[in-house]
Amino acid sequence: MRLGRSYKQHGIPDPGPGGWDAIVIGSGLGGLACAAMLGRHAGQRVLVLERHYTAGGFTHTFHRPGYEWDVGVHYVGDVHRPGTLLRRAFDHLTDGQLAWEDLGEVYDQIIFRHGDGGGADVYDFVRGREAWRARMHDYFPSQRDAIDRYLDEVRAAVRSSKRFFLEKALPPTVARFVGGRLRRPAEPHARATVHEVLSRLTPDARLRGVLAGQYGDYGLPPRQASFFMHALLVGHYLGGGAYPVGGSAQIAATMLPGIERAGGAVVTSAEVERVLVENGRAVGVRLAGGEALRARKVISDAGRALTFGRLLAPEEAAAAGQAATLPGVPPSFGHLSLYVGVKRTAAELGLRRANQWVYPDHDHDKNVARYVDDPEAPLPVAYLSFPSAKDPDFERRHPGRATIEVIGVAPWQWFAKWDGSPWHKRGQDYEAFKARLAERLTAALLDRCPQLAGQIDHAELSTPLTTKHFAGHPSGELYGLSHSPARFAARQLRAHTGVKGLYLTGADVCTAGIGGALMGGLLTATVVGKRNMIGAVVKA
């Protein structure tokens, strides 16, 4: 499914009298949400420019004959219950056209393998706070108090987040006076690492490994990750998980009509080369082909690193006091994704909806460090997702087929020597390296799903170079800036950039993930549209 209007085929549409009110760079969820809210509630005509051939960012899907895979949306929390803010936001932005399929009682499984001898310890994460608590009590009866205190810590961190993120939407002059007070309740959670909090709660290393078992959803192992990010992620899924009916591309497909009805447009294959600044104010963008487009506001959903490292002229970024990097906040990890297709249905293969997080043991930090140093070391994580089992519409679209994704971590330094080489033409040494990585991820899949042996019809691997090629992320990072304590201490991560008329949106404003990107879009729309967009969602 290709979404949006192709620049190569149709050019830029005429915005009509007065021109574009805003240009959004990037059609990820944050960019689309921001554009849609500005159109609906501020009467603005917004042009969204996407460098890829289809809109949606990491919510898009891609196809091979007979198959379809998502590239970033493997499950979403807080959407299968109609009253939640995230569900209300999606209903509002899509006019209720986006449907969700509940994943069932178990949404994640944390799995520790027994080495080469076979077998594994499996810990189910079940929906519902009290059901989850009871299941953890069953697994760790001597740690009941630690588990209860852990849930209290998660709840306290989540409750502190509302004011923390509100501060990011305030004008900088106002934030200087009241920002500290708004951020203060969240700061203890944000300063602490996951390891520090869990070590304070329990001496049981295996329990700590289970509780940190979703770290791949934000991309940092426990000693590096902020507990604030961890708590937001855990809280997001405690009520269970869901998957968009029709595949993750339905998210963008159901949001685009609202943008277009408001006089906006989403144009693909339109790479932005530069943000145009005149007299200290952003006035538009220049495309890679040279065409200049003007607007009253420019909003970047391309991430902080790309925005200040390439899209803004160095002298303009320096004048605003901005840089592509922040001290102590490196890019997040890159990832590998093995896309597998099988000529049998998920039901025939016995594939379940729950995601599987497969680890060699409970020491996530040790395992990641060992693997970064040696690609032949045991995989620190293999994340197994079964989109064809999650989506009740998949069988209609692709009868008799099933798809699986196996995801692992991949540091950029492994691939940097091929940076700049053309896609699909990176040389035999790159292809050999990819083949070895794909072989190892396939082995991890077959270890958990032996019924797939001899059944795989199609398999292909993406690497951080793939991410850079399609998303433009400078180091092939998946989650933008790392979710470390230093990230949440950085006051620069906000909608305002210091350049008049230029704003950031999406994950780098809030956090990684569907919820973080969407809320980043709503916050930036609040700033640009001068209206409380979260309040507008609730009222609608």
Q: How far is CA 198 from CA 4, 192, 329, 358, in A?
A: 45, 10, 22, 20
Q: What is the rounded distance in angstroms from the CA atom of residue 73 to the CA atom of residue 87?
A: 16
Query: What's the average model confidence in pLDDT over 43-57?
Result: 95
Q: What are 144-184's pLDDT values in tens digits?
A: 999 999 999 999 999 999 999 999 988 888 988 898 999 99
What are the residues whose beta carbons fall under 8 Å from the beta carbon of 428, sequence distance 6 or more?
none
| 33, 25 Cβ separation under 8 angstroms | no
Where do you find CATH 3.50.50.60 in the chain? 5-67+79-94+245-326+492-539
Mean pLDDT rounded to a whole number for the chain: 94
Q: What are 118-149's pLDDT values in tens digits?
A: 789 999 999 999 999 999 999 999 999 999 99
How sure is the predictor about 116, in pLDDT bands with cuts at 50, 70 and 90? low
Q: What is the rounded distance in angstroms from the CA atom of residue 426 to the CA atom of residue 137?
A: 51
Q: What is the rounded distance in angstroms from the CA atom of residue 401 to the CA atom of residue 205?
A: 41
What three-state secondary structure class fits 126?
strand
Burial 87-123 (b: 16+ CB within 10 A, else e): bbbbbbbbeeebebbbbeebbbbbbbbeeeeeeeeeb
What three-state secondary structure class fits 221?
coil
Cα–Cα nearest to 120, from 450, 534, 395: 450
Where do you find CATH 3.90.660 in the chain? 100-244+329-471
Q: What are 487-511's pLDDT values in tens digits?
A: 999 988 999 999 999 999 999 999 9
- Beta pairing, strands 46-49 & 5-6: unpaired
How sure is the predictor about 83, in pLDDT bands with cuts at 50, 70 and 90? confident
CB atoms within 10 A of CB 375: 14
Q: What are 426-476's pLDDT values in tens digits?
A: 989 999 999 999 999 999 999 999 999 999 999 999 999 999 888 888 888
Share of the chain above pLDDT 70, in %: 99
Domain 5-67+79-94+245-326+492-539 has CATH 3.50.50.60: yes
Q: What is the pTM of this model?
A: 0.95
Share of the chain above pLDDT 90, in %: 85
pLDDT value for 488: 95
Please name the amino acid found at residue 35.
A
What three-state secondary structure class fits 67?
strand
Q: What is the rounded distance in angstroms from the CA atom of residue 395 to the CA atom of residue 405?
A: 17
The two three-digit tokens of residue 306, written as one number: 């790309």
Going by the DSSP 8-state scheme, the letter that residue 14 receives in this structure is: P
The two three-digit tokens of residue 1, written as one number: 């499914």
Q: What is the rounded distance in angstroms from the CA atom of residue 445 to the CA atom of residue 340?
A: 10
Q: What are 244-298's pLDDT values in tens digits?
A: 999 999 999 999 999 999 999 999 999 999 999 999 999 999 999 999 999 999 9
The two three-digit tokens of residue 475, written as one number: 């180091």
pLDDT value for 117: 63
CB atoms within 10 A of CB 447: 15
Query: What's the average model confidence in pLDDT over 10-16?
Result: 93
Query: What's the average model confidence in pLDDT over 516-524?
Result: 95
Question: How many residues would you count in the chain?
Answer: 540
Greater model confidence, 144 or 16: 144
How sure is the predictor about 323, in pLDDT bands with cuts at 50, 70 and 90? confident
**Half-sphere exposure of 341 toward its Cβ, with a 13 Å CA cutoff?**
20
Query: What's the average model confidence in pLDDT over 55-63?
Result: 92
Burial of 399 (0-12, 13-18, 19+ CB in 10 A): exposed
What three-state secondary structure class fits 448?
helix
Structural domain 100-244+329-471, CATH architecture: Alpha-Beta Complex (3.90)
Q: What is the rounded distance in angstroms from the CA atom of residue 455 to the CA atom of residue 446?
A: 10
